[in-house]
Amino acid sequence: MKIGLKNIPSGIDSKNVFKKTSGFANRHESFVVFLIFSVLFAYVGFLWYRYAYDYRWSEAKKQEYVSSKNELNDFNKVKFDKVLRDINFRQEDYQKNIEVVKDIFRLKQ
């Protein structure tokens, strides 16, 4: 089988390439959409794998992360004690007996 190399054009016409590409996209629209979706799905899968399972931090970056978390996690004992007092106050308030008022509108006198 011989391939005629003389029939292949030497230059590429940009208008012709655009027309042929858009014509192919119009004729095979579902295939093009499926191809774009497949490429996008593969790229997102690659990113997910890379960030979820194939992560690599240098020792310097690990130490920077640990030190930043230690700075953010200061325990505030004053706020903690205030919250505990509020919880105890609410618990005592809940344990109190409620007086039942029979006539709240004082209709019967």
**Average pLDDT of each block of 10 consecutive residues along the chain (109 residues)?**
61 76 83 92 93 83 84 78 94 82 70
What confidence score (pLDDT) does residue 100 get?
A: 72
pLDDT recorded at residue 89: 93
Return phi, psi of residue 4, to 5°. -80, 100
Tell me what pLDDT residue 27 has. 85
Specify the pLDDT at position 95: 86
Residues 57 and 65: beta-carbon distance below 8 Å: yes
CA 41, CA 47: separation in Å to the nearest integer? 10
SS3 call for 16 = helix
- The total number of residues shown for the chain amounts to 109
Note the pLDDT of residue 90: 92
pLDDT of residue 36: 93
- Give CA separation, 60 vs 42, 63, 64, 71, in Å: 32, 5, 6, 17
